[in-house]
Amino acid sequence: MNILFMASEAFPFIKTGGLADVAGALPRALMKRGHSVHLIVPAYQSLLARIRAGEVPSVALKLTTTLTLEGERVALWRTRLPGTRVTVWLVDIPAFSERSGNPYTGLDGRDWPDNHQRFFRFCQAAVAVATNRAGLNWSADLVHANDWQCGMACWLLRQTPSAPPSVFTIHNLAYHGLFSQPALYDLGLPDTLWQPDYLEFYGQLSFIKAGLVFAHRLTTVSPGYAREIQTPDMGHGLDGLLRARHDDLSGILNGIDTEVWHPGRDRYLATPYNQHRLQRKSLNTADLRKQLGLTMITEQPLVGFVGRMVAQKGLDLLLAVLPEYLQKSALQLVVLGKGDPHYEQAFAKLALTFPDTVSVTLGYDEALAHRIEAGADLFLMPSLFEPCGLNQLYSLRYGALPLVHAVGGLGDTVVDEGNPVRDNGFCFHRPQPDALSAALSRALEMYEKDTSAWRQRQRNAMGGDYSWNQSAAAYDQLYQKTLSSV
């Protein structure tokens, strides 16, 4: 099957969150199942610059074709996902390639004001590729679109005679891709789309709804989140629509790139290790303490957090609970994150208050993220909601026991049910400080008093299969089902 996989970011080209990890790994896993997968991504300036500077290993750029969409010239560059046979198309318009900054926001942190035009053009280009109207002599049997940036492709495909069907994956329902009503006219969209059954969402134009309404099948990144988003509490205002499409919606858990995240072969670690050589993990803990200037007190477990600093990640819970434990010298804390200034400041303050036991790095640092997974004893993910979550999977694989709020993909992957053969982390079930605190106390007590139970959980965690194999098989099945029903 020819599959066009659309995403607004893909590792190792460009990444702001887990979507990039998925787009960088799932296409390869699908190739292994015998499909021909082409990935299409916007040609952001920083992405082109990284490839040209040789920072993305072993790939070259080739300008392949240009097309004209509504009078605008769109160039398509061709490259490859490093280490794979996955062809990558980069959609080059000035609004992508001539801007520095983040894919979605300017240097001031505000959304680019023309995001609707940028991502609509991206969708038009993807549809031209999928339907063999881009001069590439290739067409897709199916388009797999991800998140709001790709939503309009699902509508465009429905407008195009004999176009392939689409699957739309929700990586995070909190991000709707909302624009004010004039965007509808800027894009020349028909008035008929302006109604609640289609793209209107409480007076705004919603790109994610284009995916949710017009894709042939919907998926999200864990079975737990698939259930949760159909409830008013966790449906972000779209639960009614999702309930209506219940029969077309499924949850497929993400895998991880087990080559990139491999404690035994991680290029960022001085001392690789595995579940049979767990004492070597503590050398990574010592390295990390040294690198970050923390006191070498091995009795205190090293507790990690890596992630976007946004409310979703449960940072208010951490800020409510951790000071008490730090005061008691019960743990050391390593934080790596970037996001809302309000959270960045609160964590920076924590590091100032506890200079010997707290390290906070504000920024994006791939190497440090790997070293934290390798060095941490415990890894915190108290997310209020979590569609899948990748960090807990990295943590499991690295034996940094995840302590999670058991929602969405966290509840589907972290086991804490009093079963020594299966337990691989710690869970709490209410997003409240006292619930987090109880789970943390329980974990610290086990760390201190029951090394063999702790080691067993680490081995259970590290022995799990987090590869893409099963998920790719599930997507494969879904694609077949989609094709056979159109």
Between residues 20 and 125, which has the closer beta carbon with respect to ligand ADP? 20
Which residues fall within 8 angstroms of residue 267, CB to CB, at 6 or more apart?
A: none
Token pair for residue 289? 């303490």
The verdict on 208 binding ligand GLC (CB under 6 A) reads: no
CB of 339 to ligand GLC, least distance (A): 13
Q: Are 55 and 20 in contact (CB under 8 A)?
A: no
The verdict on 364 binding ligand ADP (CB under 6 A) reads: yes
d(CA 12, CA 32): 19
The verdict on 243 binding ligand ADP (CB under 6 A) reads: no
- Residues of span 270-309 touching ligand ADP by CB under 6 A: 306-308
Helix (H) or strand (E) holding 159: helix 147-159
Cα 71 off chain centre by: 34
| DSSP assignments along 370-438, one per residue | HHHHHH-SEEEE--S--SS-SHHHHHHHHT-EEEEE--HHHHHH---SS-TTT--SEEESSSSHHHHHH
CB of 33 to ligand ADP, least distance (A): 23
Between residues 255 and 301, which has the closer beta carbon with respect to ligand GLC? 255
Per-position x/- string for 153-192, each x denoting binding to ligand GLC as judged by CB under 6 A, each - no binding: ------------------xx--------------------
Between residues 3 and 221, which has the closer beta carbon with respect to ligand GLC? 221
d(CA 254, CA 474): 11
- Residues of span 391-420 touching ligand ADP by CB under 6 A: 391
> With CB cut-offs between 5 and 8 Å by kind, which of ligand ADP, ligand GLC, none does residue 221 bind?
ligand GLC
Per-position x/- string for 400-419, each x denoting binding to ligand GLC as judged by CB under 6 A, each - no binding: ---------x----------
The verdict on 381 binding ligand GLC (CB under 6 A) reads: no
CB of 187 to ligand ADP, least distance (A): 27
Q: What are phi and psi of 334, to 5 degrees?
A: -125, 120
- Residues of span 17-76 touching ligand ADP by CB under 6 A: 17-18, 21
d(CA 27, CA 19): 12
The verdict on 388 binding ligand GLC (CB under 6 A) reads: yes
d(CA 486, CA 483): 6
The verdict on 254 binding ligand GLC (CB under 6 A) reads: yes
Q: What are phi and psi of 272, to 5 degrees?
A: -65, 155
What are the residues binding ligand ADP (CB under 6 A)?
17-18, 21, 306-308, 336-338, 364-366, 369, 388-391
